[in-house]
Structure 1
């Protein structure tokens, strides 16, 4: 298989080999493809989890409206009760 690379990519491959991290251009390409495959699998796993989370949300039932003022009121009551318990 022959692969055409841009001059920038060719230089990147040369630098990797020159650095001593890789013994050949082929080794650099193998590692790049391995990392790309790993990244694709991670992306697919995250997407699968997102789909699962969305479905769980849809399956959880009808949503209810929430009132931020009511939540703040409940929070104040809980803080006051906690302060009373500590005194």
Structure 2
């Protein structure tokens, strides 16, 4: 497989090789792809967990008599009314 990289990426790879941690460009790219694979797996797990949490939220909304707000990135930190909080407890 032939891949054309932007000059900045070629320079980055050469800099990594110059440190002595990698023998060649393949080693650098293999490490980068391994890290990307790990990140993608973690992101997929986070996304699945978030979807599960979102699926639970509508039932909480229908039970709650007061308005509340939540930050999707900070799930499950939902501000509940006191009645909802006691019902979960």
The two structures have a TM-score, normalised by structure 2, of: 0.68
Aligned residues: 68
Could you say what the CA RMSD is over the residues aligned between the two structures, in angstroms? Answer: 1.9
Equivalent in the alignment of 1:62: 62
Kindly name which structure, 1 or 2, has the bigger radius of gyration based on alpha carbons.
1
Equivalent in the alignment of 1:14: 14
Q: Shift of the alpha carbon at 1:16? A: 0.3
In the TM superposition, structure 1's runs of 4+ consecutive aligned residues that sit over 4 Å from their partners are: none
Q: Where do 5+ consecutive residues of structure 2 fail to align?
A: 68-80, 82-89
The two structures have a TM-score, normalised by structure 1, of: 0.69
Q: Which structure ranks higher in relative contact order (CA pairs < 8 Å, sequence separation ≥ 6)?
A: 2
Q: Shift of the alpha carbon at 1:13? A: 0.2
Q: Shift of the alpha carbon at 1:34? A: 0.7
Higher helix share goes to which structure?
1
Equivalent in the alignment of 1:52: 52
